[in-house]
Amino acid sequence: MNYEVGKNLGYHPCMQRCLLAASMLGLWLILGSHPLLAQVAEGGQAVFKSGVDLVTVSATVRDRKGRLVSGLEARDFEVLDRGQHRAISQFRTERAPLSLAILFDISGSMNVAARFTAAKFAAHHLLELLEPGRDEAALFAFDSRLHEVAPFTVDTRALNGALGEVDPFGATSLHDAIAEAADRVAARNHLRRAVVVLTDGIDTSSARTPAEVSGVAAAIDVPVYVIATVLSIDDPGSDRATPQAGRRAPAYIGTVEDLARWTGGALIYASGPASSTRAARDVIDELRNLYLIGFEPGTDTGWHPLEIRTRDDRQTVRARGGYNLTARP
């Protein structure tokens, strides 16, 4: 169990330390040779014990017109864990600080047309929409590996200067970079946290698949938002979009769209200054309006698919796709 999550959910500090130690011991005993489980658990975040820890889920709710729905209460939600209803034991909606890992694609494919400019514009507006001294953010860049450009700080306006230090070149390990960034932001104190990826969506050298990466991020409840910097002809919201752009994403975008959805995040297009600004605002608005839901997990070990829904069928809930339950030591 994450120490800070336990603190925020009201556990005594001694109990928090005991639970964290027990979780890590159980993890050491059962991990074996499964690579995904090993990666998920390195941050001490993905071990849930029935009757002791809570599974926490960040959920976004929208109506049929795509508008964010606020003001809901715990009784408005249903949690299905492997198809079985779970009682909600923790529920939070108050405005809380954000932890944001901004992941900037500096691969060679970004150095095409206005992609890199759109990405920098979106990053700038993400930082401008954060509350200095309250929210925190870090700036990462990736090509064939992850680079920390600026560490997590509440002086978020100062990060704008660091944007000038990134220039596109090299291969792309998009999936690997997302997994590593998710692990880093999961170690932060705030419950409202996310990875925001600024990329063209092209991956040329990752060792991990999108499904593996989404499993890592989903298991530690870190939604991944992908701001896809595409050409205007591929942007469904652009006046220059081709008819195909309005019906489906380009083939190279499809894998990261699935990855984002499985973690409870989203894919948002950006092809110019206006759409980049709108994409940044959409991300921050969602994070400000997250519902934080906690429940006791089931008893069977393994992957637990989750379905979070409201009792109003006119509303759509987006949340992570599941969690891993380990064996009790």
Per-residue pLDDT tens over the stretch 186-205: 899 888 999 999 887 666 66
Residue type, 150: A
Cα–Cα distance for residue pair 102/137, rounded to 1 Å: 7
Residue 12 burial class via C-beta count within 10 angstroms: exposed 0-12, middle 13-18, buried 19 and up: exposed
Place of tokens 């209803």: 85
Per-residue pLDDT tens over the stretch 44-68: 333 333 344 789 999 999 999 999 9
Which range in 26-40, 101-115, 152-166, 305-319 is most confidently predicted, on average pLDDT?
305-319
DSSP annotation string for 43-67: TT-S---TTT--EEEEEEEE-TTS-
Per-domain residue ranges of the chain: 98-288
> Which of 124-128, 197-201, 220-224, 254-258 has the least mean pLDDT?
254-258
Per-residue pLDDT tens over the stretch 265-305: 998 988 878 888 999 999 999 999 999 999 999 889 888 99
Read off the pTM: 0.77
Helix (H) or strand (E) run with residue 135 in it: none
* Position 158 pLDDT exceeds 70: yes
**Residue 236 confidence (pLDDT):** 65
Query: Which DSSP state fits 68?
Result: B
Q: Report residue 86 as tokens.
A: 């779970």
Q: Which CA distances in Å does 259 have to 102, 190, 211, 254, 264?
A: 16, 23, 7, 9, 9
Task: Assign 38 a pLDDT band (cuts: 50, 70, 90).
Answer: very low
Under CATH, to which class is 98-288 assigned?
A: alpha beta
